[in-house]
Amino acid sequence: MKFSNGKASDIQIAYIGGGSMYWAKNLIADLALDEELSGKVRLYDLDYGKAKKNEKLGNSVSDYAEAKSKWMYEAYETLADALTGSDFVFISILPGTFAEMHSDVHEPEKYGIYQPVGDTTGPGGLVRALRTIPMYVEFAQAIEKYAPDAWVFNYTNPMTLCTRTLYEVFPKIKAFGCCHEIFGTQGLLIRMLRDLEGIEELHRDDIRVNVLGINHFTWIDQATYKNVDLFPLYRQFVDKYYEEGFEHNKDAWKTNTYTAANRVKFDLFRRYGLIAAAGDRHLAEFVPPWYTKDPETVRAWKFGLTTVPSRVDKHKATEEQYNKLIGGQEKLVLKASGEEEVRQLKGLIGLQPFVTNVNLPNVGQMQGVPLRAVVETNAAFSGNSLRPVHAGELPVEVNSLVMRHVLNQETILKAALKRDKALAFSAFVNDPLVTIDIGPAEELFETMLGNTKAYLKGWEL
């Protein structure tokens, strides 16, 4: 890496999962739009051909008139070659195929267990973790060997366990997990100020929040705008929209299962007095089936169950558009994705220190949770440094909900590393969504493990 006139050049980024049709486009656009950074993105994917396609797309963007910087993209056939010499590592993969995802999400429905997402907790999230953790063991070992000083950005779910595995295998790794759910809640607070106070022209940075919790089950106990406490206003906002919900586009939840009317978020505020800071689809999976008892209950709370067939259809549509980009029939639109990887890069390089929420092992920044467990709080980015910001402690009634998942995640990690089916089942049956009797729970668990057995090497199934 080189520095000159407040700019950094020759930055080396290894991108694991570099054949993506989704996040890769965002990264290519975000990097091209920043004039202070330039360098090389080293693409690695199990499907080398897909990485070659992103090599072509990324390099073509450098010729765009609107591109503010030049980045070179190159596909590598081995992880070792991609990592060697890298300053930063991005990991964004799909652990498994749509077939395994279908089992994660829809097999539990046969037993009356509904999951709006199924990638973080619940039966689906836990089984997904069992097949993802071995992949992250390999990543951590490779990073330790070929890029031990690199900063590692993780974007894969289950976020907490992916990040936790990296540190378990390579304790000195410099890794953190990135999630945009908090940004959505800051956006909701901006819309609240617009709706109740008529305040326009707000940016997310104007809303200061203190974040506590674990990924997708995060909470805000302080929120301010120009040093004014937003909680009294949020209480009015919740009271005003509790029944009908509040969306950016009214009733979008009816046709788009990736959206919600925030009624779950509002209900949790009434129950606990804190702002639940993830999307309703995620939040609903961390508590007993208050909001997910059946499809009718889900509709009453105004969010959707995102089916895997709908994801497959979305994937096909994305692939068609992506192929047009690769073929040159269409041009990649350069617009900011809303992710923070560029600001985080600039923070770690020392160009733009700032504070944002990330997932890191607990070293005391969050009280009431075991040390080493991965938690999501604010952290300060500065030159080659990432320091967690002291977040405090959740109220006992909220922390008890969070701790159930923290301990379950630790159990799943241990089970995956030891290939211990009995231990994995103990976490599975302890999940708050698994309210069925022990016999059916064992049957469901065996079926789901069988459906993902191709990724469970060395297990006695």
Per-residue H/E/C for 356-382: EEEEEECCCCEECCCCCCEEEEEEEEE
Catalytic residue among 102, 106, 180, 282: 180
Q: Is the pLDDT of residue 5 over 90?
A: no
Q: Are 59 and 72 in contact (CB under 8 A)?
A: yes
- Model confidence at 3, in pLDDT bands (50, 70, 90)? confident
Q: Are 58 and 123 in contact (CB under 8 A)?
A: no
State both tokens at 347.
């923070």
180 is annotated as an active-site residue: yes
* Residue 176 pLDDT: 98
- Pairing label, strands 392-393, 385-388: unpaired
The per-residue pLDDT of the chain, averaged, comes to 96
Q: State the Cα–Cα distance between residues 127 and 176, nearest whole angstrom.
A: 22
**The residue count for the chain:** 461
Kindly state the average pLDDT of the residues 31-35.
96
Q: State the Cα–Cα distance between residues 44 and 142, nearest whole angstrom.
A: 13
Sequence-ordered list of residues with C-beta below 8 angstroms from that of 326, at least 6 positions apart, any chain: 53, 56, 57
* Residue 251 pLDDT: 87
For 95, other C-beta atoms within 10 Å of its C-beta total 23
Distance between alpha carbon 348 and the CA centroid of its chain, in Å? 20
Q: Is the pLDDT of residue 4 over 90?
A: no
Kindly state the average pLDDT of the residues 166-195.
97
Q: Are 308 and 102 in contact (CB under 8 A)?
A: yes
Map out the domains of the chain with their CATH numbers.
Answer: 2-96+120-179 (3.40.50.720), 97-119+180-306+339-461 (3.90.1820.10)
pTM greater than 0.75: yes
Largest CA distance in the chain: 66
Q: Amino acid letter at 341?
A: E
Kindly state the average pLDDT of the residues 35-57.
97
Cis ω for the linkage preceding 148 (within 30 of 0): no
Name the 3-class secondary structure at 57.
Answer: helix
Distances (CA, A) of 273 to 24, 186, 221, 425: 38, 17, 8, 34
Burial (CB < 10 A; 0-12, 13-18, 19+), residue 313, is exposed
Kindly state the average pLDDT of the residues 336-342.
92
Sequence-ordered list of residues with C-beta below 8 angstroms from that of 203, at least 6 positions apart, any chain: none
Q: State the Cα–Cα distance between residues 169 and 150, nearest whole angstrom.
A: 15
Distance between alpha carbon 1 and the CA centroid of its chain, in Å? 28
For 358, other C-beta atoms within 10 Å of its C-beta total 28
Q: Are 373 and 361 in contact (CB under 8 A)?
A: yes
Kindly state the average pLDDT of the residues 371-392.
97
H helix and E strand count, the chain: 16, 16
* Residue 160 pLDDT: 98
State the first-to-last Cα distance of the chain, in angstroms, to the nearest integer.
Answer: 48
State both tokens at 400.
């008890």
306: alpha, beta or left, given left = phi > 0 and alpha = psi -120 to 50? Answer: beta
* Residue 6 pLDDT: 83
Q: Is the pLDDT of residue 410 over 90?
A: yes
Q: Is the pLDDT of residue 78 over 90?
A: yes
- Model confidence at 158, in pLDDT bands (50, 70, 90)? very high
- Model confidence at 134, in pLDDT bands (50, 70, 90)? very high
Q: Is the pLDDT of residue 73 over 90?
A: yes
Distances (CA, A) of 299 to 13, 253, 263, 302: 43, 9, 11, 5
